[in-house]
Amino acid sequence: MLKFIVKLHPEIAIKSKSVRKRFTKLLEKNIKMILLRRDEKVRVKNNWDNIAVETDISDAQTREWFIDNLKRVPGIVQFIEVQETPFETIDDIYQRTLELASHTIEGKTFCVRVKRNGNHDFTSSDVERYVGGGLNQNVEGAKVKLSKPDVTVKIEIKKDLAYIVTHTHYGIGGFPLPTQEDVLSLISGGFDSGVATYQMMRKGARTHFLFFNLGGAAHEIGVKQVSHYLWKQFSSTHKVKFITVDFEPVVAEILENVENGQMGVILKRMMMRAGAAVAEKVNAHALITGESVGQVSSQTLANLSVIDRVTETLILRPLIQHDKADIIKIAREIGTVEMAESMPEYCGVISQKPTVKAKMSNILEEEAKFDFDVLDTVIKNATVKDIREIEEEAKEEVKEAETVSELPENAVVLDIRSPEEEDANPLELEGVEVEHIPFFRLATKFGDLPQNKEYYLYCARGVMSQLQALILHENGYMNVKVYRP
């Protein structure tokens, strides 16, 4: 049997009794909903100060699956893996601890820490001294050290049961879904919007997706994949919407009628107008963006202030003070960095000298030249999908990029990983020609290659290869496939 004890987030534990009860009940429900996918007989019990998880399936694969999924449930900051054992004496506890923990403390310093709940003829300190002394005498190289030991052996005692902690795991923290109101994330598929979306999910907000399509099928497919990935990883206990708005007509109207330096700010204001209208349709209470102060010209404080005043809808920016390196680090941790790196960029409008201190009077003057019927039309024609449809739809859309696991003779493999990835783990295939062209140079370099050969794109997970293959197909290069060993 496998048993895990989910510790409550400290911010949940200090809330009022009614709020704490609601939060823990939602967390219990979400945990059970996830784990039932693996074990329909899993037991999840709310014990007020923790949530216990038990399964009779104890193979290594199931254990790893449970751990991986619990780590991604919003509201779980920490959970321990325990072995439950009944006892009559302290020596019973010691013998079981020796069996489970001896291999972890061999040749190391250690201490024993005990938490006890119930009526016993011994104290927590008694158990610590007895178990610690026994381990010190009977485990080779182990030495008790009460301050900053290499290993802390943890035991929890409740009534006539002892729980010996074998591993401690850490989750993403935050609050359970959906303890906060629904929000609408303006998702572009890049580093920033993906991380901002994740941050709102982990804070307990059911997060819908809004994509402004500025042109390009590859971009839309990529954004759908990123959105579905984020939902499946961190939010799959709840249904959300994926909304697409064709923004090309809006961009065309801006390019034709708006003064060059004001175009970037006005494009953002149009997006916020559209976002507010869509948010109302899906009952979302705030718009989420990945903007960070000073990162680009439209994200100065002056420009953000002008952008915000276009709507009364709350605009949240979880990354407002993050540096780009911080954002990329989080993207790597949550698994979106590769997809973000490969995402085609569609800037929509590029000002030669964009304003960094927009004035409301100038913006309103330029917006007076804009035909708002265009904006109303694209909002009206927005497509709304259940996020669960995206997976099958995405599979259909990328079918034209054939994937192979075995290479034919005379195959040429193009390693499209970044130089850092390639240097850290070079791809070497016996008898196969391998050429390294980073994904960000592929579009310009591929045409220089001999076109009488078949090329197989390789990357770590295959996502980048699929997107780049699709882009090359759109440009007329059909001699491209994906290599997934």
Establish if 48 belongs to a structural domain.
yes
Provide the pLDDT confidence category of residue 349 given band limits of 50, 70 and 90: low
Q: Are 339 and 435 members of one domain?
A: no
Length of the chain: 485
Q: What is the span of the domain harbouring residue 465?
A: 401-483
Residue 196 lies in a domain: yes
Q: Which residue has the higher pLDDT, 433 or 217?
A: 433
**Catalytic option among 218, 265, 266, 459:** 459
HEC readout, the chain? CEEEEEEECHHHHCCCHHHHHHHHHHHHHHHHHHHCCCCCCCEEEECCCEEEEEECCCCHHHHHHHHHHHCCCCCEEEEEEEEEEECCCHHHHHHHHHHHHHHHHCCCEEEEEEEEECCCCCCHHHHHHHHHHHHHHHCCCCEECCCCCCEEEEEEEECCEEEEEEEEEECCCCCCCCCEEEEEEECCCCHHHHHHHHHHHHCCEEEEEEEEECCCHHHHHHHHHHHHHHHHHHCCCCCCEEEEEECHHHHHHHHHHCCHHHHHHHHHHHHHHHHHHHHHHCCCCEEECCCCCCCCHHHCHHHHHHHHCCCCCEEECCCCCCCHHHHHHHHHHHCCHHHHHCCCCCCCCCCCCCCCCCCHHHHHHHHCCCCHHHHHHHHHCCEEEECHHHHHHHHHHCCCCCEECCCCCCCEEEECCCHHHHHHCCCCCCCCEEEECCHHHHHHHHHHCCCCCCEEEECCCCHHHHHHHHHHHHCCCCCEEEECC
How much is the mean pLDDT over the chain? 89
Would you call 459 a catalytic residue per the annotation? yes
Q: What's the pLDDT score for residue 280?
A: 96
The pairing of beta strand 286-288 with beta strand 314-316: parallel
Are 188 and 156 members of one domain? no
Point out the domain boundary residue: 170, 199, 229: 170
Of 336, 362, 386, which closes a domain?
386
Query: Based on the domain organization, do 322 and 278 belong to the same domain?
Result: yes
- How confident is the model over 281-334, as pLDDT tens digits? 999 999 999 999 988 777 899 999 999 999 999 999 999 999 999 999 999 999
Residue 317 has what pLDDT? 97
Indicate whether 166 and 194 sit together in one domain. Answer: no
Whether pLDDT at 421 is above 80:
no
324, 358, 386 — which closes off a domain?
386
Assess whether pLDDT exceeds 70 at residue 394: no
**Closest to 374 in 3D by CA, of 274, 472, 269, 268:** 274
CATH of the domain at 72: 3.30.2130.30
Let me know whether 123 and 145 are in one domain.
Answer: yes
* Within a domain: 395: no
Question: Does residue 393 contact residue 224 with C-beta atoms inside 8 Å?
Answer: yes
- Binding-site residue positions for ATP: 186-187, 268, 290, 299
Residues 333 and 269 in one domain: yes
Confidence at residue 346, expressed as pLDDT on a 0 to 100 scale: 57
Residue 321 shares a structural domain with residue 411: no
Whether residue 213 is contained in a domain is answered as: yes
Assess if residue 154 is contained within a domain.
yes
pLDDT tens digits along 247-290: 989 988 898 888 888 888 999 999 999 999 999 999 999 999 99
Together in a domain, 248 and 115: no
What is the count of structural domains for the chain?
3
Across 176-200, average pLDDT: 95
Is 159 among the domain residues? yes
> Does the structure show a pLDDT above 60 at 395?
no
Domain assignment of residue 394, yes or no: no
For residues 3 and 63, give the distance between their C-alpha atoms in angstroms, rounded to a whole number.
Answer: 10
Quote the pLDDT of residue 337: 87
Q: What is the CATH number of the domain that holds 249?
A: 3.40.50.620
Q: Give residue 113's pLDDT band: very low, low, confident or very high (50, 70, 90).
A: very high
- Binding site, annotated residues: 186-187, 268, 290, 299
Are residues 426 and 359 both part of a single domain?
no
106 in the same domain as 51:
yes
Q: Are residues 221 and 106 in the same domain?
A: no
Q: What is the pLDDT of residues 130-165, one digit of tens each?
A: 999 999 999 999 999 999 999 999 999 988 899 998
Of all residues in the chain, the percent with pLDDT exceeding 90 is: 60
| CATH code where residue 409 lies | 3.40.250.10
Q: Is 228 exposed, middle or buried (0-12, 13-18, 19+ CB in 10 A)?
A: buried
Same domain, 274 and 220: yes
Q: Is residue 81 part of a domain?
A: yes
Tokens of 222: 């990529």
